[in-house]
Amino acid sequence: MDYTELEDRIAAICAGETDVIALMATVACEVHHFDDRFDWTGFYRVTGPEHLKIGPYQGGHGCLDIPFSRGVCGAAARTGEVQLVPDVNAFPGHIACASSTRSELVLPVWDKFGELIGVFDIDSDQADAFTEEDADRLARILARVFAA
């Protein structure tokens, strides 16, 4: 399967849905099963000032709470920029929610008003697992689902 097929499938499943949690659950599931590189796939939702709380996800347990000041997810939320991390052990302040994680891709998630509603986190048990294409195509999917 390619990203175009994934994007079209997610768009079809999510068409007409307005519940953010239902949308997050669907995106996490579809993306998680899209590629074997994706070991943990899920959302951390903005639930307070500079605070993320775990949302719908696929995979083992994740961290329950992450402040914007810590880790890869916090960096994505704090800066509003995609974090493509080839080696999590080299990332200052990385939070080890799972010892198997070797690389990580985290994308900020914006609603249709331009407000940050969370981050989309994908972990891999492989080093340097993610590409710029992954980041670009996933950002496009997130915009289509949450910012449309």
Q: Check: CB of residue 49 under 8 Å from CB of residue 68.
A: no
pLDDT one-digit tens code per residue, 16-41: 999 999 999 999 999 999 999 999 99
pLDDT at 28: 98
* Whole-number Å distance between alpha carbons of 4 and 102: 27
- Token digits of residue 108: 């900020």
pLDDT at 21: 98
Domains and CATH numbers, the chain: 3-146 (3.30.450.40)
Rounded mean pLDDT of the chain? Answer: 95
Its pTM stands at: 0.95
Residue 11 has pLDDT above 90, yes or no: yes
Question: CA distances (Å), 25 to each of 28, 60, 91, 107, in order?
Answer: 5, 15, 28, 16
